[in-house]
Each structure stands twice: as C-alpha cells, then as structure tokens.
Amino acid sequence: MLRVVLVHPQIPPNTGNIARTCAATGTELHLVGPLGFEISDRYLKRAGLDYWPYVKLQYHESIDSFKAIHQELGGRWIGFSTGGQYNYIQFQFETNDWLLFGCETKGLPADILGDCGATVFIPMSETGVRSLNLSVSAAVGLFEAKRQLGYLA
C-alpha cells in the first residue's frame, strides 16, 4: 500500500489539504515531528473539512520512531525533492512505496534524502520558481503513483 509521509511540516493548511487528499484516496498519512503546529490546530482541521474521520493518520514524534515503523513494515522510501534524480513520471513506483515530502521551507533534510531508495522531482517550466506548494506536490506524486499501479480505476 502506498503511504504519504510529511517530514516536519510547518503550515497547517498544507497538511490539512494533504490529509483530505489521503482521505479521498484511502492512503495512509504519516506525520513526522517535530511539527510546526499542534495537531489540534484549527487551520489544520479547517483545511481537512469534515473528512478527518476518513484520514488514516499516523504521528511519529521523531524520525527515529518513524524509521522503526518503516523497518517493521518494509518498502522503499521515495523522496520528493527539487534536486531529485528521476522525473516522477518516468520513475516506476511500487505498491509498498513511502512517498516522502519535506517541510515547506527546506524540503527533506540531506540525511533523510540519503536514506531514500530513490529521489524524484516534479518538473517545472519556469526556472525562477523554486518549488510547488507542498499540498500540490503530494497530490501530484500520489496520483501518479496510483495511476501507474492501476489504483485509479
């Protein structure tokens, strides 16, 4: 099963929007702390609307606690980064992949990128634009992985 992982997210509405996307697609959402907000944040709840009961949410206090869960469940870490190795469309996703996204201001830390089985990027035409919004990137990456695996039928 595909999983979306947000490492140190900072902006509650982005996380809420991603939670909503995960709810709609039946995808687990893993949040790795420290977070830039409280889970009870009203902006987080508002962005997720009334879909929170459908979100398969897992919270990990640290990257080490997250690594322990990953080790137990297996699968590849696929890091999304503007400096990724592979175009996300040309990359072959697998059923048990964990799609990792970093915080809005810094992306994934270098040590976590180094632990990834692969890193992918979402191409952008305008070179002056540094990155896409986190919730957009997560949705684009998740839907491409699901499309490749035949989960959108």
Averages of pLDDT over each 10 residues, the chain, 153 residues: 96 90 95 85 60 88 96 97 96 98 95 97 91 95 97 83
Looking at the domain assignment, is residue 95 inside a domain?
yes
Helix axes 134-148, 12-25, angle to 10 degrees: 20
CA torsion angle for 88, 112, 8, 28 (degrees, to 10)?
A: 60
Q: Is 122 annotated as a binding residue?
A: yes
> How far is 115 from 123, CA to CA, in rounded Å?
22
Indicate the number of domains in the chain: 1
Q: What is the pLDDT of residue 121?
A: 97
- 87 neighbors 55 (Cβ within 8 angstroms): no
Q: What is the pLDDT of residue 30?
A: 97
Q: Is 39 annotated as a binding residue?
A: no
Please tell me the pTM assigned to this model.
Answer: 0.93
Its domain, for residue 106, covers: 3-148
Q: Is 131 annotated as a binding residue?
A: yes
Residue 130 is part of a domain; what is its CATH number? 3.40.1280.10
> How far is 70 from 85, CA to CA, in rounded Å?
22
The two structure tokens encoding residue 27: 């995808």
Cβ-Cβ contacts under 8 Å for 21 (sequence gap 6 or more):
4, 27, 135, 138, 139, 142
> How far is 116 from 57, CA to CA, in rounded Å?
22
Q: What is the pLDDT of residue 87?
A: 98
Looking at the domain assignment, is residue 153 inside a domain?
no
